[in-house]
Amino acid sequence: MTESIPSNPTQTEAQMKNPTLLSALLALPLLAAPDPAQATNPFFQTWKTPFGVPPFAEIKEAHFMPAFKEGMARHKAEITAIAESKDKPTFKNTVEAMEQSGAFMEPVRAVFGTLSGAETNANLQAINRELSPLRSAHRDDINFNEKLWLRVKAVWENRAKEKLSAQQFRLLEDTYKGFVRAGANLGPELKERMRAINAEQSKLGVQFGDKMLKATKDYELLIEKPADLAGLPEGARNAAAAAAKKVGKDGKWLFTLDGPSIWPFLQYAENRDLRRQILTAYTERCNGGELDTRAIASRIATLRTEKAKLLGYATWAHFILEENMAKDPTGVYGLLDQLWQPALAVAKKDRADLQALLDKDLPGIKLQAWDWRFYEEKVRKARFALDEEALKPYFALDAVREGAFRVAGKLYGITFTELKDMPTYSNEVKVFEVKEQDGRHLGIFYTDFHPRPGKRGGAWCGRLRSGHGTIRPIVTNVCNFTRPSGDKPALLTPDEVETLFHEFGHALHGFFYAGQYRGLGGAPRDFVELPSQIMENWAMEPEVLKTYAKHYKTGETIPDALIQKIEKAGTYGQGFKTVEYLAASLLDMAWHTQTEPKAQDAMAFEKATFEKLGLIPEIHPRYHTPYFNHIWNSGYSAGYYAYIWSEVLDSDAFQAFKEKGNLFDPATAKAFRKEVLAKGNTADPAKLYRTFRGRDPKVEPLLVKRGLK
């Protein structure tokens, strides 16, 4: 079975479905004659690949800009046809027609976005810098098209006469609100100011991302003396030796700021000064020098505050949160304030234990941030007899991935089959076909699990094609997990195991969306993490562990004694983890609850924020302002709290399975898929959750899980 992406210059699939839009387009003047180069540009061709996946080997960097420009031109023509139509505005000829427009550009945007995150280079970054203001202007041209806005407004005002389905009404409501929130009601001068703000924000976001990526990838801690490796596990040493060899420094050991490199070093390296060096490099990224982002961050915050004020909102947070479950900053602080003091109290208690151990090694020396993970690991070993290194042989990457697949199979009846010889953008990418229990094709799944020079840090789920209606999705999971070392496969840490399950949960959300419209396939920021985080709950359950945690050499199932140690140590370290996360969330809120658009000294602003909170100096926030990519360049502004908000939901939702006495209770799984995973943003998320659970979520399961109660 194969699927193709429509590529005819005048009739996209969406246009063929909408005769009104098609007839209006045909009445327009013809666009310029096709460029001969289009004949060799894959984005202008029908993709004759299995399931219509991108033909990565044929796509060159030079193909992107012509395809984007053509896509924007076609989209503009489609929008003009809708706006200039002489027919009375209706949901079908206006709102639905807009939803179906822009189809040509979707695969271009999806492929470019995927490569920009997972396999970027100087050329792609240059394209992004050139492209960013063009895309910003294109969006504004649509949002500020007065005739289009009047048609949308007319449909909204006559909505009671349209006899719309629930999904149609939701799309109309989102479309109408989208115009209002973009500034469609502003006067001409304010619209021009809004255009300038949007253009500058877009440019600054790209600059921030480029600087942060370079600062992260440029750092190297090169070790030449074996003595400086004391305490490090064999796997960490072997990985560092392989990294050094790869850059022509054979016989040495190279550590970087990529997660699989820095975190084991801080956890195990006995050389305290080297721990200080690498953590300082991590926390001081972009805080000065040629890669300084402090002024960029402050400027973005200033522009956001100004934009919010232009639109009639008190702060940027009020503007953003209006569309989230939290609704306003009071809702966010209502949750975060419940957690901050209990988490800080646990962290302070743990600090005393760590200081006591440090006193034995170095009397009179005060505990520092670069000591925390090292001594926390010592306490974990002493108190629970649990060594993370003893766990890793049971967490071979492929086995963990198959474990996640098996959980999804038991819950939802789906299967995953690896497809060989599929087009990919890296030889490290694996591809799977996802099928329903009855064999029907559900989607295609790309996995990309290891760090590379052109891959940004962290882990994320993306789309090479969004699913809606009869169109099946192509979903990606991109991570930065520990690499294979020597004759060993990639052996994951418990945190990496949970991350794999987390991103896989996002993928399931993409596969299961059953809505009619592409524009309703997402979810509010503080609800979208529910499908991902609930999957983490299964990862370390004893019943599930025994299905996938097999020793990579012997095949032995993880012993009960080791599982018991995991359970006993389950809440240890949660004070640190919760405080570092909440500190970043509260920093995000501080930046985005400013009431006046004025420049700030970024680090002075941050320092004052943490002093007010009482953050202890031994714990850094998970992200400092200069490298807080989530809020400056990744769509989480006034939204980083969403992980903990969603954790309230996922902890409570998982409890529904526990209450049934069956982690795979068929009725509960069916309800969760139907009422949450399949719905996307087709209804209010609070209503979706209540329909699934029968009530609003309770915070108690989260407090218990994190050891804060």
Q: Which residue numbers are catalytic?
A: 503
256 vs 263: CA distance, rounded Å: 10
Phi, psi of 567, deg, nearest 5? -65, -45
Name the strand (E) or helix (H) holding 443: strand 441-448
And the tokens for 18?
A: 């909408």
**Contact between 697 and 649 (Cβ < 8 Å):** yes
Among residues 74, 451, 395, 543, the alpha carbon closest in space to that of 242 is found at: 451
* CA atoms of 626 and 40, how far apart (whole Å): 42
CA distance 314 to 304: 11
C-alpha dist (Å) from residue 45 to 7, 58, 101, 106, 258:
6, 11, 18, 14, 38
Query: Nearest to residue 371, comparing CAs of 287, 271, 284?
Result: 271
Considering only CA atoms, give the Rg of the chain. 26
* Other Cβ atoms closer than 10 A to 114: 21
Structure tokens, 77: 């023509």
Give bridge partners of residue 446 from the DSSP assignment: 431, 476
Residue among 559, 226, 242, 227 nearest 385 (CA)? 559
Taken in order 661, 665, 668, 669, is the CA torsion positive or negative?
positive
Q: Are 699 and 338 in contact (CB under 8 A)?
A: yes
DSSP 196-242: HHHHHHHHHHHHHHHHHHHHHHH--EEE--GGGGTT--HHHHHHHHH
**Residue 461 exposure: Cα atoms within 13 Å on the Cβ side:** 24
Output the six-digit token pair for 307.
């934009």
Give the whole-angstrom CA distance, residue 516 versus residue 519.
Answer: 9
